[in-house]
Amino acid sequence: MKGLFEKNIALLRAKDGPLASIIEQAPDDAAITVIEAKSGPVPEIVAAGKAIALHSRIDPKKEATRFASEIDTHEFDLFIVSGFGFAYHIEDLLQRVGGDAVVLVIEQSPLIIKKACAHRDLTPLFGNPRCILLLSPSEDDIARALQGKSTRRTAFLLHRGSHQADSMFYSNVLRIARSYLSTKDVNIATLAKFEKTWIQNIARNAGYLADLPRAKFFYDAFKGVPAIVAAAGPSLSESIDFIRKSGSRSIIVAVDTSYRILRKHGIEPHFCITVDPQSVNARYFEGDTMSKTILVADPSSHPSVFRLFKGRVVRTGTAFPMMKWIDEICGEGGEIAHGGSVSTNAYDFAKRLGASPIVLVGQDLAFTGGYAHARGSYLDDQVHLRTERFFPAEMYNRRQLTALPKIFIDGIRGGRVHTNQKMMIFLSWFERRNDPELINATVNGARMKGVAHVNDMKIDLGEEKDLWSIVDARYEKAKSAQNSLRVRHLLEEQCEKISVDAEELLPVLDRAVRLAEDLAEQTASANRDGAKIAYIIKKLDEADRAIELRKKTTDMIGLTIQKVVHTIMEGHDLEDDEKKSADEKIARRSLYLYRGLHSGAEFVMRIAGQMKRILKNTQSDD
């Protein structure tokens, strides 16, 4: 048994030294014993006073065969298995999966693996590079293990014995893995849809960027003051009285979707957050009347927002590292974290104000009552505008409810509530904050694990405060700090340089595309010319150096081709890629990248010219 353990640990150490050390040092525990079954040893765990065998007490190998045979292994190329046990099920699974498939195994107990090493020959696992083992992983560990695998066809497999021993742990890690892969899918889709829109909006907003005060002047101005973040979930209407009576005791931060609802009820939020680049978000402010509210806008927000909102506006910093040159010229607008939903931005803004505690309302993250948004919001109005006799509102809502597969999770009021994977991403984002000062007073919807859920009637926000005077004073300070004429001049100069750089890069990229086409042809040929391939690679290296010399311009080009970049980095297969050799895949991806860069350079040259014209044709209000 000692020799078997040393053999297994040596194999594991060659594969993952730190993991092997943790397993070697795992202390023994009387709660974990080993029993002998007909076809091999089986670990048994005492949990909650009950002995649980992680495999069949009679025939673990037969059980493992049944486990693997129920999976259509040809349909998947990534298998995420929760529970290692003594690995009978993993060994059988590895024998059945395709040659390119990856099996990722997640285990909570190092002692289980240690005992498995002492009782079974694990060479088929530890000697297989396609089998990856994670021990009590954090979310970051899971993300690293899944990097580059987001487009694989994934099967999530729950090992029954391990799940019985600790259902909470294994359910949670599977949820994290699902959330990561879904987030990657959402990110790729978002990039494909918005990468050029973000740049176009920033260019069209050039005049505003030069003139608008900066949100950072409000940061830390409300230390210790409570904040209410009002999202536009279906239950928002039940929180209106709480928000109204709290307006003089807390900072009220609305999102663009909830803004008009609050104002209809006579509530003036101190701040309203808008970050979305789509034109529909500007509609939230149609028919707006003068307001004391400060609109906090992302530089890539749709330009119509700035025309339709009737009140004071400040801008945040740009969310894109590739566009930080704007903040260098215009002044740092103020960072704000993005979690995929404007309500995550609103929460982070409240944190940066110094507010404490932060109370969420209207954050249902579920289809409460069969609705996606609060009644009276712009999106709710659109339901009725788009419906007619043969397509009533009920059918429109049903379409929203079924657009993505249903997920049922624990609800705030008990029972299970209907949500979907998109909202689960936002739910997970809030749960990962681990913020003891975060309170969820949302009346209905999904329960946030690790976040205090408190009935708003039990929340004490302290004494009344003169908060508007602080808001007004900080706004005036921010406004006086903005040197618009100087900023406009510097922006125009930078736009001119970017335009020239992009124009000069076009012939370089045009040649790089032709070289990459030749490289792809050579790697696909049965009669490769090694000298020609070496020459092509040398010339592509020269093109790369010419591209790298123009950093701000190439950064901007990079932002316009994020879908291309993620397609390559995340392992997205191009058409028929699975049939290609490794060299052919690299060549095809190079061609894909250079074509993207060429298209991006053309786009940036146009955008820089447009931005320069806008700056010249608009004037500061100062």
Q: Looking at the structure, do residues 173 and 215 belong to the same domain, yes or no?
A: no
Q: Looking at the structure, do residues 303 and 379 belong to the same domain, yes or no?
A: yes
Looking at residue 140, its amino acid is D
What tokens were used for 232? 């536009």
Q: Of 480, 508, 525, at which residue does a domain stop?
A: 480
Residue carrying the six token digits 């997920």? 407
Q: What confidence score (pLDDT) does residue 168 get?
A: 82
Q: Looking at the structure, do residues 502 and 453 belong to the same domain, yes or no?
A: no
Could you give the CA distance from residue 615 to residue 611 in angstroms, rounded to a whole number?
6
pLDDT digits (tens, 9 = 90+) for 149-165: 766 778 889 899 998 88
What tokens were used for 260? 């008009």
Q: Looking at the structure, do residues 388 and 414 belong to the same domain, yes or no?
A: yes
Q: Closest by alpha carbon to 259, among 281, 226, 227, 235?
A: 281
Domain that holds residue 155: 2-184
In a domain, 196, yes or no: no
Q: Check if the beta carbon of residue 554 is closer than 8 Å to that of residue 548.
A: yes
Q: Looking at the structure, do residues 451 and 497 belong to the same domain, yes or no?
A: no
Which residue has better confidence, 574 or 196?
A: 196
In a domain, 193, yes or no: no
User: Whole-model pTM above 0.85?
Assistant: no
Number of Cβ atoms within 10 Å of the Cβ of 621: 7
Q: Looking at the structure, do residues 538 and 574 belong to the same domain, yes or no?
A: yes
In a domain, 622, yes or no: no
pLDDT mean over 168-176? 81
Based on the structure, what is the number of domains in the chain? 3
DSSP 8-class letter at 341: S
Q: What confidence score (pLDDT) does residue 395 get?
A: 42
Q: Which neighbouring-strand residues pair with 81?
A: 105, 157
Q: What confidence score (pLDDT) does residue 398 get?
A: 45
Q: What is the DSSP string of 526-583?
A: SS--HHHHHHHHHHHHHHHHHHHT-HHHHHHHHHHTHHHHHHHHTTPPPTTGGGS-HH
* Least reliable range by pLDDT among 10-24, 266-280, 586-600: 586-600
Residue 229, H or E segment: strand 227-230
Which residue has better confidence, 280 or 185?
A: 280
Could you give the CA distance from residue 386 to residue 264 in angstroms, rounded to a whole number?
22
pLDDT(188) > 60? no
Q: Looking at the structure, do residues 141 and 228 belong to the same domain, yes or no?
A: no
Looking at residue 70, its amino acid is E
Which residue has better confidence, 394 or 197?
A: 197
Among 95-104, 131-140, 252-261, top mean pLDDT goes to 252-261
Q: Closest by alpha carbon to 7, among 136, 124, 86, 135?
A: 124
For residue 25, give the 3-state DSSP assignment: coil
Q: Of 480, 502, 534, at which residue does a domain stop?
A: 480
pLDDT(599) > 70? yes
pLDDT averaged over the chain?
A: 87
In a domain, 97, yes or no: yes
Helix 421-431 with 167-204: angle, nearest 10 deg: 100
Taking the CA atoms of residue 384, residue 390, residue 396 and residue 402 in that order, the dihedral angle to the nearest 10 degrees is 180
Using CA atoms, how far residue 619 sits from 280, 310, 311, 487, 601, in Å, is 27, 19, 19, 12, 29
Could you give the CA distance from residue 521 to residue 362 in angstroms, rounded to a whole number?
56
Using CA atoms, how far residue 552 sits from 326, 494, 497, 597, in Å, is 10, 9, 9, 14
Q: Check if the beta carbon of residue 77 is closer than 8 Å to that of residue 57.
A: no
Strand 358-361, strand 294-297: pairing: unpaired
pLDDT digits (tens, 9 = 90+) for 218-234: 999 999 999 999 999 99
In a domain, 197, yes or no: no
Q: What confidence score (pLDDT) does residue 79 get?
A: 93
In a domain, 189, yes or no: no
Strand 358-361, strand 438-440: pairing: parallel
Q: Closest by alpha carbon to 583, among 514, 526, 524?
A: 524
Q: Of 429, 452, 480, at which residue does a domain stop?
A: 480
* Least reliable range by pLDDT among 215-229, 399-413, 595-609: 399-413
Residues of the chain with pLDDT > 90, as a percent, come to: 61
Q: Check if the beta carbon of residue 604 is closer than 8 Å to that of residue 560.
A: yes
Q: What confidence score (pLDDT) does residue 571 get?
A: 56
pLDDT digits (tens, 9 = 90+) for 266-319: 999 999 999 988 888 888 999 899 999 999 999 999 999 999 999 999 999 988
Q: Check if the beta carbon of residue 213 is closer than 8 Å to that of residue 487.
A: no
Q: Check if the beta carbon of residue 608 is closer than 8 Å to that of residue 495.
A: yes
What tokens were used for 11? 């194999």
Q: Looking at the structure, do residues 257 and 169 belong to the same domain, yes or no?
A: no
* Least reliable range by pLDDT among 237-251, 425-439, 561-575: 561-575
Residues of the chain with pLDDT > 70, as a percent, come to: 89
Q: What confidence score (pLDDT) does residue 383 get?
A: 39
User: What are the phi and psi torsion angles at 52 (to 5°)?
Assistant: -120, 120
**pLDDT band, residue 579 (cuts 50/70/90):** low
Task: Find all residues with CB under 8 Å of 474, minimum gap 6, and list them.
Answer: 217, 218, 221
Using CA atoms, how far residue 301 sits from 41, 149, 287, 378, 455, in Å, is 61, 32, 19, 17, 34
Could you give the CA distance from residue 397 to residue 416 in angstroms, rounded to a whole number?
19
DSSP 8-class letter at 293: P
Q: Looking at the structure, do residues 340 and 475 belong to the same domain, yes or no?
A: yes
pLDDT mean over 254-258? 96
* Least reliable range by pLDDT among 79-93, 173-187, 229-243, 366-380: 173-187
Q: Which neighbouring-strand residues pair with 564?
A: none
In a domain, 194, yes or no: no
Residue 304, H or E segment: helix 304-308
Q: What confidence score (pLDDT) does residue 187 get?
A: 55
Q: Check if the beta carbon of residue 555 is closer than 8 Å to that of residue 322.
A: yes
Using CA atoms, how far residue 405 sits from 160, 424, 576, in Å, is 24, 12, 29
Q: Looking at the structure, do residues 299 and 432 belong to the same domain, yes or no?
A: yes
pLDDT(141) > 50? yes
Task: Find all residues with CB under 8 Å of 96, minimum gap 6, and list them.
Answer: 68, 69, 71, 73
Which residue has better confidence, 143 or 507?
A: 507
Residue carrying the six token digits 């049922």? 408
pLDDT digits (tens, 9 = 90+) for 352-399: 999 999 999 999 999 998 888 887 755 444 433 344 444 444 444 444
pLDDT digits (tens, 9 = 90+) for 48-87: 788 999 999 999 999 999 998 888 888 888 999 999 999 9
Task: Find all residues with CB under 8 Å of 264, minimum gap 6, and list them.
Answer: 376
Q: Looking at the structure, do residues 104 and 136 belong to the same domain, yes or no?
A: yes
Q: Looking at the structure, do residues 36 and 133 belong to the same domain, yes or no?
A: yes
Q: What confidence score (pLDDT) does residue 400 get?
A: 46
Using CA atoms, how far residue 574 sits from 193, 577, 588, 592, 595, in Å, is 18, 5, 8, 9, 14
Q: What is the DSSP string of 490-535?
A: HHHHHHHHHHHHHHHHHHHHHHHHHHHHHHHHHHH-SS--HHHHHH
pLDDT(250) > 50? yes
Using CA atoms, how far residue 562 sits from 22, 195, 559, in Å, is 39, 7, 6
Task: Find all residues with CB under 8 Å of 534, minimum gap 6, and list them.
Answer: none
In a domain, 412, yes or no: yes
